[in-house]
């Protein structure tokens, strides 16, 4: 075995006279002696910190000690519910020092924010970008924004009744999905797309109308309907034609008559900008496909169940945190009270399309203009807490 002599000079060392070589091992601190600290402890900092001088109401100065600070924030109560309990969930605004429970805020704060936190009254509204028509066409990948390209078919004309010999016994008739009817006014459609583009860019998301498979997450081969417990209902052929018709309208700038509005308590929500009839195909739930086990501690409030496998480690979810469409902003109902259930006007249904599981948002009743869209977050399992929803 070859050995190396420390006294012999190597060619690289001889060519660089300024190079230095370590001749001794780095110093190790004994186990009984702790290494020197690079930062002071909080006790040492508080010992040399000067008292805080606050301005009193009568104009004089009042010295505030550490004990006074503790007493000052010891009786802070939530501005919403008036309770001072659950102090670990009580957030204090960095400007007005008012307290709010995380579950009392709208939208709800699922975890303690990192860094500065401001309440609704002290925070500035989210910046809304105003996009031009050319940027909107590029954002939504519209091939040709032309009114004449959008088929002007009423929802009644899409249903073709075929006369067949009916038996004497009455049979239950299956109801077919209807394609959405875009707004006829091009300026109105342009305004609708602007609201969606502004909401997506505010959340730093990119538009996608399909499921996306990113390396490092679940592959496309994992999304097979045969892996579902009990199987998934197959989308009929005529409903597949309706889905393809909606996709064709997307490519030429035709979208459902919906707008994304920002609510002070609920965040971004979706409102109908025109009448929508029952069983209308509103949108397909889009986003990144990932394993449920990888999102167990995710704080995203829009994760959708895609596949429930017999092996829990193979169950899939849709995570619209980087890619998504208008389905990302549809609100959920409070399914713990009767009023919340009455607000539901659409639902998410899972279908098997060409062997893969897809999630479609379908209207469950007629929706009038100005009405917000709501569906039940716990359509398949009762795991998501919705008792604190509005």
In a domain, 299, yes or no: yes
Q: Kindly report which listed range (46-50, 70-74, 222-226, 232-236) carries the lowest average pLDDT score.
A: 70-74
190/318 same-domain check: yes
112/201 same-domain check: no
Q: What mean pLDDT, rounded, does the chain reach?
A: 75
In a domain, 12, yes or no: no
| Domain CATH code at residue 111 | 3.30.40.10
211/358 same-domain check: yes
Identify the pLDDT of residue 150. Answer: 52
More confident residue, 20 or 202: 202
The 10 Å Cβ neighbour count of residue 219 is 11
Identify the pLDDT of residue 147. Answer: 46
Write out pLDDT tens, residues 52-84. Answer: 555 544 555 555 554 544 455 667 888 888 888
- Quick one: average pLDDT of 112-137? 69
Over 70: is that where the pLDDT of 321 sits? yes
Q: Which residues contact 143 (CB under 8 A, 6 or more apart)?
A: 251, 252
Residue numbers of the domain that contains 112: 77-124
In a domain, 385, yes or no: no
228/113 same-domain check: no
Identify the pLDDT of residue 87. Answer: 78
* CA–CA gap between residue 194 and residue 188 (Å, rounded): 10
| Domain CATH code at residue 226 | 2.170.270.10
Per-residue tokens: 268: 């971004």
85/205 same-domain check: no
235/329 same-domain check: yes
Q: Which of 124, 142, 158 is the last residue of a domain?
A: 124
Per-residue tokens: 375: 């569906």
Alpha carbons within 13 A on the beta-carbon side of 15: 3
In a domain, 37, yes or no: no
* CA–CA gap between residue 57 and residue 62 (Å, rounded): 10
More confident residue, 165 or 282: 282
Interior/surface letters 280-299, b for 16+ CB within 10 angstroms, e for the rest: bbbbbbbbbbbbbeebeeee
Q: With pLDDT > 70 as the criterion, what percentage of the chain qualifies? A: 61
86/204 same-domain check: no
Per-residue tokens: 186: 């091009």
Closest CA to 40 of 48, 30, 31, 50: 48
* CA–CA gap between residue 107 and residue 389 (Å, rounded): 9
In a domain, 355, yes or no: yes
Q: Do the beta carbons of residue 198 and residue 260 sit within 8 Å?
A: yes
213/312 same-domain check: yes
In a domain, 221, yes or no: yes
242/314 same-domain check: yes
112/198 same-domain check: no
Q: Which of 22-31, 136-145, 366-375 has the highest mean pLDDT?
A: 366-375
Write out pLDDT tens, residues 337-389. Answer: 667 678 889 998 999 999 999 999 999 999 999 999 998 865 545 455 444 44
In a domain, 111, yes or no: yes
In a domain, 66, yes or no: no
Closest CA to 186 of 272, 257, 283: 257
Q: Kindly report which listed range (234-243, 257-266, 345-354, 367-376) carries the lowest average pLDDT score.
A: 257-266
Count of domains forming the chain: 2
333/246 same-domain check: yes
215/324 same-domain check: yes
The alpha carbon of 139 is separated from its chain's Cα centroid by a whole number of angstroms, namely: 19
């Amino acid at each position: 075995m070859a050995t190396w002599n420390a006294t012999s000079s190597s060619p690289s060392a001889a060519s660089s006279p300024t190079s230095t070589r370590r001749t001794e091992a780095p110093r190790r601190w004994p186990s009984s002696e702790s290494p020197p600290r690079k930062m002071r402890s909080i006790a040492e900092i508080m010992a040399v910190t000067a008292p805080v001088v606050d301005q009193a109401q009568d104009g004089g100065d009042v010295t505030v000690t550490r004990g006074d600070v503790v007493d000052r924030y010891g009786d802070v109560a939530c501005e919403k519910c008036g309770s001072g309990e659950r102090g670990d969930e009580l957030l204090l605004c960095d400007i007005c020092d008012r307290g709010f429970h995380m579950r009392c805020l709208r939208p709800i704060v699922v975890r303690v924010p990192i860094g500065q936190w401001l309440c609704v009254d002290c925070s500035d509204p989210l910046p809304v970008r105003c996009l031009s028509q050319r940027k909107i066409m590029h954002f939504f990948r519209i091939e040709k924004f032309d009114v004449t390209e959008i088929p002007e078919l009423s929802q009644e004309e899409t249903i073709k009744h075929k006369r067949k010999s009916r038996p004497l016994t009455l049979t239950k008739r299956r109801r077919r999905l209807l394609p959405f009817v875009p707004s006829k006014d091009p300026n109105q459609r342009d305004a609708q797309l602007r609201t969606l583009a502004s909401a997506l860019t505010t959340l730093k998301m990119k538009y996608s109308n399909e499921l996306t498979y990113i390396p490092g997450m679940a592959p496309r081969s994992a999304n097979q309907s045969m892996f579902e417990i009990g199987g998934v209902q197959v989308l009929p052929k005529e409903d597949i034609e309706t889905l393809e018709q909606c996709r064709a309208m997307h490519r030429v700038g035709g979208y459902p008559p919906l707008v994304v509005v920002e609510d002070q308590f609920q965040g971004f929500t979706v409102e109908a900008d025109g009448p929508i009839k029952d069983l209308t195909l509103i949108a397909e739930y889009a986003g990144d496909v990932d394993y449920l086990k990888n999102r167990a501690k995710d704080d995203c409030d829009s994760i959708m169940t895609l596949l429930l496998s017999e092996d829990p480690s193979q169950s899939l979810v849709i995570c619209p945190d980087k890619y998504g469409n208008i389905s990302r902003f549809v609100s959920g109902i409070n399914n713990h009270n009767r009023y919340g259930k009455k607000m539901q006007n659409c639902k998410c249904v899972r279908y098997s399309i060409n062997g893969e599981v897809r999630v479609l948002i379908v209207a469950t009743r007629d929706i009038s203009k100005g009405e917000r869209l709501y569906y039940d977050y716990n359509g398949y399992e009762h795991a998501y807490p919705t008792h604190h929803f509005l």
